[in-house]
């Protein structure tokens, strides 16, 4: 019997955070890398519910190409499936090879190029993701415990091995606080590579679970009574010589001048970019005070309810702080496209750098216990509390919408309005159930 033909999935992640693409025969991949494989503009308007948002600016006309980036290929035989998992991230281009306005991967590339051109900095990032496993039949176990890990055996070792073989450089998998919840992290990388890895982690995790007869969900809330699944994006900067450029011992909280201005820009535009980083209706069931997630625009040291958290550094054994120092963006989940999330963070930070903004104040304490005057003095603003509110904040900030082509803004708006209308008749528990099956 002839063995199955090896297929490689040439993929793009859309505005609904679903990774779609075309499978191609492996022997033709290098040829396809030169001229691409066909794609359609209206695919950008496909919603997570497998419907095309209507109206949309694309209709049934037009053709594009997916150009695989062979340096962003993730292949592993370790998921347990009958054939290897094989995925390569692609850029969407016009038929003449020029970048297409709706390619989120290109949007991140362009933002990173501007960061380098305008500030002389490169961004190093990671995407830490939480997920929940269903249908495994686990009994009760203590959070963060050995038992919680071992009851899932061999899932965690198999997943780490598959991710390692795929080139993701996993650092850690742990049983998290929530019921049947895990978190997977990877080594810091160039921000574009970090976004590629985030997509690969989601897909390889889902496949590894599926082969075991389970289901892995990255949805921000899989049940109202359960702990939510967040995405944390730690980042730092390197200068043109590759040296750490985020830390300054004399700066507030250790922030360099450029890093402080970057953080100020992110916080200034955070309400508007929240819909790009926490992009679904159930995202806002999770972004609430006292939920170990973000709810106000604030910078803090080592506080896991801050929007921007200055992460701890270790001085044991005389370790250097500068090489460890990073800032964590915490207003994110896996219903957001990771390329778009990182592009929005970079663009907002660049606005702060261009304006020469001072570093935001370091906030300590509970914002919900502060008076309005105290919050105003610290620049604390409540984040949007629903998807409609977040979408309105996005559309109202002309600086933020100005980062994107009007047709992309129109498409994103249409998808989100379709989502809001689609869920209008469902209660919150039913919404959680639905998203638990989609993400």
The CATH number of the domain holding residue 54 is 3.10.20.70
Here the CATH number for the domain that contains residue 218 is: 3.30.590.10
Asked if 66 and 89 count as a contact pair (C-beta separation under 8 A), the reply is: no
Mode of pairing for the β-strands spanning 85-93 and 7-13:
parallel
Domain identity same for 219 and 302: yes
Q: Is 435 left (phi over 0), alpha (psi -120 to 50) or beta?
A: alpha
Confirm whether 55 is domain-assigned.
yes
32-89: pLDDT as tens digits: 999 999 999 999 999 999 999 999 999 999 999 999 999 999 999 999 999 999 999 9
Mean pLDDT of 1-10: 78
Domain identity same for 87 and 126: no
423-436: pLDDT as tens digits: 999 999 999 999 99
Among 207-211, 230-234, 241-245, 369-373, which stretch is predicted with the lowest mean pLDDT?
A: 369-373
Confirm whether 28 is domain-assigned.
yes
Last residue of a domain, one of 74, 100, 126: 100
pLDDT of residue 165: 98
pLDDT of residue 72: 98
For residue 100, pLDDT beyond 90: yes
pLDDT of residue 140: 73
Confirm whether 378 is domain-assigned.
yes
For residue 2, pLDDT beyond 60: no
Confirm whether 189 is domain-assigned.
yes
For residue 4, pLDDT beyond 70: no
Domain identity same for 82 and 210: no
Domain identity same for 64 and 195: no
Confirm whether 129 is domain-assigned.
yes
pLDDT of residue 289: 86
Mean pLDDT of 162-188: 93
Domain identity same for 257 and 321: yes
Task: State the total domains in the chain.
Answer: 2
Last residue of a domain, one of 35, 70, 100: 100
Q: Which segment, 135-139, 175-179, 206-210, 368-372, is predicted with the most confidence on average?
A: 206-210
pLDDT of residue 110: 98
Confirm whether 205 is domain-assigned.
yes
249-297: pLDDT as tens digits: 999 999 999 999 999 999 999 999 999 999 999 999 999 988 888 889 9
Residue 146 pLDDT level (bands cut at 50, 70, 90)? confident
Mean pLDDT of 150-167: 93
Last residue of a domain, one of 41, 74, 100: 100
Mean pLDDT of 204-211: 97
The closest of 336, 364, 389 to 230, measured between CA atoms, is 336
Domain identity same for 85 and 233: no
pLDDT of residue 177: 83
For residue 104, pLDDT beyond 60: yes
Place of tokens 């396809």: 32
pLDDT of residue 404: 98
pLDDT of residue 406: 98
Domain identity same for 136 and 263: yes
Domain that holds residue 393: 110-438
Place of tokens 């390569």: 88
Fill in the DSSP letter of residue 98.
P
Domain identity same for 231 and 266: yes
Q: At what angle do helices 155-166 and 191-211 cross, to 10 degrees?
A: 140
Asked if 24 and 34 count as a contact pair (C-beta separation under 8 A), the reply is: no
Token pair, residue 223, equals: 């049940």
Domain identity same for 171 and 317: yes
303-329: pLDDT as tens digits: 888 999 999 888 898 889 999 999 999
Domain identity same for 271 and 304: yes
Domain identity same for 330 and 397: yes
345-396: pLDDT as tens digits: 999 999 999 999 999 999 988 888 999 999 998 989 999 999 999 999 999 9
Confirm whether 1 is domain-assigned.
no
Domain identity same for 264 and 200: yes
For residue 1, pLDDT beyond 60: no
| Average pLDDT along the chain | 94
pLDDT of residue 3: 59
Strands (E) located in 239-386: 299-301, 308-310, 327-329
When computed from its CA atoms, the radius of gyration of the chain, rounded to whole angstroms, is 21
Asked if 249 and 257 count as a contact pair (C-beta separation under 8 A), the reply is: no
Confirm whether 105 is domain-assigned.
no
More confident call, 359 vs 143: 359
For residue 127, pLDDT beyond 80: yes
């Amino acid at each position: 019997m002839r063995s199955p033909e090896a297929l490689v999935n040439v993929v793009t992640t859309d505005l609904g955070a679903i990774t779609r693409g075309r499978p191609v025969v492996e022997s033709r991949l290098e040829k396809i890398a030169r001229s691409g494989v066909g794609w359609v503009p209206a695919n950008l308007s496909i919603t997570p519910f497998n419907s095309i948002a209507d109206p949309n600016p694309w209709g049934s006309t037009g053709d594009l190409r997916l150009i695989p980036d062979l340096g962003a290929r993730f292949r592993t035989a370790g998921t347990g499936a009958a054939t290897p998992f094989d995925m390569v991230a692609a850029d969407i281009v016009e038929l003449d090879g020029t970048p297409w306005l709706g390619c989120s991967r290109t949007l991140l590339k362009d933002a990173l190029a501007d960061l380098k051109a305008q500030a002389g900095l490169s961004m190093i990032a990671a995407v830490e993701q939480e997920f929940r496993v269903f249908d495994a039949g686990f009994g009760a176990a203590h959070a963060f415990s050995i038992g919680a890990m071992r009851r899932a055996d061999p899932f965690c070792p198999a997943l780490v091995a598959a991710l390692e073989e795929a080139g993701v450089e996993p650092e850690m998998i742990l049983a998290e606080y929530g019921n049947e919840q895990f978190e997977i992290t990877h080594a810091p990388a160039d921000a574009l590579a970090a976004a590629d890895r985030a997509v690969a982690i989601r897909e390889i995790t889902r496949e590894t679970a599926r082969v075991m007869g389970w289901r892995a969900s990255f949805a921000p809330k899989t049940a109202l009574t359960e702990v939510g699944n967040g995405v944390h994006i730690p980042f730092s900067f390197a200068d043109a010589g590759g040296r750490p450029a985020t830390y300054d011992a004399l700066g507030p909280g250790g922030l360099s001048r450029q890093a402080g201005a970057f953080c100020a820009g992110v916080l200034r535009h955070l309400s508007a970019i929240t819909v790009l980083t926490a992009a679904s209706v159930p995202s806002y069931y999770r972004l609430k005070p006292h939920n170990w997630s973000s709810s106000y625009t604030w910078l803090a040291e080592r506080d896991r309810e801050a929007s921007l958290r200055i992460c701890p550094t270790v001085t044991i054994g005389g370790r250097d702080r500068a090489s460890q120092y990073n800032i964590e963006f915490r207003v994110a989940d896996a219903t957001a496209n990771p390329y778009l999330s990182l592009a929005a963070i970079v663009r907002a930070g660049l606005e702060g750098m261009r304006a020469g903004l001072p570093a935001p104040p370091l906030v300590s304490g509970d914002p919900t216990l502060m008076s309005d005057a105290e919050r105003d003095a610290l620049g604390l603003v409540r984040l949007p509390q629903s998807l409609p509110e977040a979408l309105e904040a996005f559309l109202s900030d002309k600086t933020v919408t100005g980062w994107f082509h009007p047709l992309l803004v129109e498409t994103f708006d249409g998808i989100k309005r379709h989502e809001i209308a689609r869920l209008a008749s469902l209660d919150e528990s039913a919404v959680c159930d639905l998203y638990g099956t989609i993400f």
